[in-house]
Amino acid sequence: MQKEMEQYVALAKQGSHKDIEYIFKVFRPAIESCAYKLRTKSFDFEDAVQEGNIGLFKAILSYSQDKGASFPTYAKKCILNSIITAYNSSQSQKHQILSEAKTLEEEDIASDAENDILTKEQNKEFILTAKQKLSRFEFLVFSLYTMQYSYKEIADMTGKDEKAVNNAIQRIHKKLRK
């Protein structure tokens, strides 16, 4: 099973959406379990799950077989670290004002919900367009860039040099403007 998982990880690193989806499906219960245990009023379940997903994605990109740990062990550690970091941040005093803020009126909430739905649909369409127009490497760089990773971090995660990342981002800009 471990060799099989490492094959999925290797293909996922190359940008295989199918393999990325498979890995996320396999680790979904572990992510949800951690998220459930750490949920609070200021750190809800969905936020924790999202942080766990980020941790898993980082694990896929940074995993190396020759470091001695199996991928499941490494991934679970990355997931837990990501969720705990976000949890600790949510519990700090700097978020107290937001935690104690009063809720909006119902009509404001309904209006915001409509805008959120429209924005989500537009984002889905944009992502689908990006998937169609970009190569696997470009889409991976695009995904990491939108998560605000620096060129150097993206280069380290993808095993390419910064110039290749810079070139990919320039191509992405050109392709997505069309």
| Mean pLDDT taken over the chain | 81
pTM here? 0.52
pLDDT in tens, 67-115: 778 888 888 898 988 888 888 877 665 555 555 555 555 555 556 666 6
pLDDT in tens, 148-157: 888 898 898 8
pLDDT in tens, 25-43: 999 998 988 888 877 777 7
Residue 79 is which amino acid?
I
Q: Residue 108 has what pLDDT?
A: 57
**173 vs 73, 128, 141, 170, CA distance in Å?**
37, 16, 12, 5
Over residues 120-129, the mean pLDDT reads 78
| 2, pLDDT greater than 80 | no
| 158, pLDDT greater than 90 | no
Higher pLDDT among residues 127 and 33, named by residue: 33
| 167, pLDDT greater than 90 | yes
CA distance 121 to 128: 11
pLDDT in tens, 43-62: 788 888 899 999 999 988 88
Which residues make Cβ contacts (< 8 Å) with residue 23, sequence separation at least 6? 5, 8, 9, 12, 56, 60, 75
Which residues make Cβ contacts (< 8 Å) with residue 144, sequence separation at least 6? 61, 153, 154, 157, 158
